[in-house]
Amino acid sequence: MTAVRPETTAQPASAPAFPAGFVWGAATAAYQVEGAAAADGRTPSIWDTFSHTPGRVRNGDTGDIAADHYHRYRDDVALMKDLGLKAYRFSVSWSRVQPTGRGPAVERGLDFYRRLTDALLEAGITPVATLYHWDLPQELEDVGGWPHRDTADRFADYADLVARALGDRVGTWTTLNEPWCSAFLGYGSGVHAPGRTDPAATLRAAHHLNLAHGRAVGALRAVLPATAQTSVTLNLHQVRPLTDSPGDAEAARRIDAVGNRIFTGPLLDGAYPEDLLADTAHLVDWHRLVRDGDLAEISRPIDVLGVNYYSPTVVSLPADGAASTRNDGHGASENSPWTGSEHVAFHLANSDLTAMNWAIDADGLHTLLTALAASHPGLPLMVTENGAAFDDYVSPEGRVADPQRIAYLHSHLAAVHRAIADGADVRGYFLWSLLDNFEWSYGYSKRFGAVYVDYPTQRRIPKASAHWYAEVIRDNALPG
């Protein structure tokens, strides 16, 4: 998936067209779809451990089988081809490739990804690989996990192994998916694996994830062809103050710092923002945490920035003594993921909600993309996740009608189209998700897929939204 600026094409009002060469894809993550948890040498990741811990995941669900993509990938690739997908973004299971997080690769684990990429290429679908989508090998967590600096070195070694195996097949590489979730939900609120609740460890994890990205980019560049592209995917929060008051503006600044700029600062600008350091100085000694040379490694140039967006983030500063609500969309916990800004209140942007209780607001995606284009001109962007969960069901006729998802996708793709027209260099869009899957701490209770998965039988049923998306891809345009 080469991030070459697409040529502008005509955009008739009746059918808003996207630029020629715009990449249309769908995405999944290894632990959410693969299953085969102990096959071919794979060992537990932190999500295996977390999901098998009573009380951590709704209904006691685990990813042991998930959507059984490991065994059914050929059928899934055929389904992707039928839908006309141009690209498939998948993640590699670290513990499937390198069970202890150290040492040589397990070739049986790599062989799955070789087979998958070969099948994609045979189908005319571009493979896009993500090295890390939250499934740290448990053995690395046992010796410290992401708060431990050595994990960044281990990740660079792992990146080297996978690049050597797949570099002749895969042209676009994403180092990390949503490192904010890995750090702040995994080590702050504890609603994600490994389920720790330590504010200082959260900030150390964030820095070491940034460092892991930079070192992985270096490892990839040393192995991959010059034409290969490197990327990182961030779930940037489109932060809005609830009112125009100075207090709410301060709340928005704080959440922008700990939710966004803790990553965009070092990754794209080569420095952590001073206000973030001030907000969190009581938790970590940043001067000791960030060593000489770290920021130069972290800020190695990337070829494209992946942007994940689902819903805006609306915040306020409660009056002294007032209760702080937290409708932040990041799960229920007595511990806040907003390290250093736990007092900030969160609100729903409106009453139009998905099954995740996330507000539906496509304008937030337009604002996010155009703001990135303004702050980092010349940086290609890719929408690497966008989608919605609804309460889907199979009709007696065997169909899955999901008009709410179609409306969601239409409005958000229209927002992408407007952002491009307003100058944002957006190269493609990946729908989340291809398949219904294991939705982390929600287990199998939430369905994000364009394709319905009947878990007892593993039958795949393309929803109405899948057929709608196939038409968009075919026409390279939204319906009029």
Residues with catalytic annotation?
Answer: 178, 385
Residue with tokens 């007032």, as numbered in its chain: 322
List Cα–Cα distances, 58 to 2, 48, 181, 184, 459, in angstroms.
40, 14, 19, 20, 23
CA neighbor of 4 nearest in space, from 117, 172, 169: 172
Q: Provide the 3-class DSSP secondary structure of residue 427.
A: strand
Integer Cα distance of 56 and 195 in angstroms: 8
The tokens describing 348, both together, are 């729903």
Residue type present at position 366: H
Give the contacts of 4 (CB within 8 A, at least 6 positions apart): 21, 427
How many other CB atoms are there within 10 angstroms of residue 35's CB atom? 22
| Pick from 414, 401, 397: nearest CA to 450 | 401
Strands annotated E in 239-319:
239-241, 304-308, 313-316
Query: Whole-angstrom Cα distance, residue 386 to residue 388?
Result: 7
- Return d(Cα 73, Cα 184) in angstroms, integer: 32
User: For 138-203, what is the HEC assignment?
Assistant: HHHHHCCCCCCCHHHHHHHHHHHHHHHHHCCCCCEEEEEECHHHHHHHHHHHCCCCCCCCCHHHHH
Structure letter (DSSP) for residue 25: E
- Which burial class, exposed, middle or buried, applies to 329 when counting CB atoms under 10 A from its CB (0-12, 13-18, 19+)? middle
Asked if 470 and 463 count as a contact pair (C-beta separation under 8 A), the reply is no
Separation in Å, CA 434 to CA 249, 348, 466? 38, 27, 9
Query: What is the C-alpha to C-alpha distance for residues 14 and 34, in angstroms, rounded to an integer?
Result: 40
- The count of other CB atoms within 10 Å of the CB of residue 323 is 7
Bridge partners, residue 345, by sequence: 316
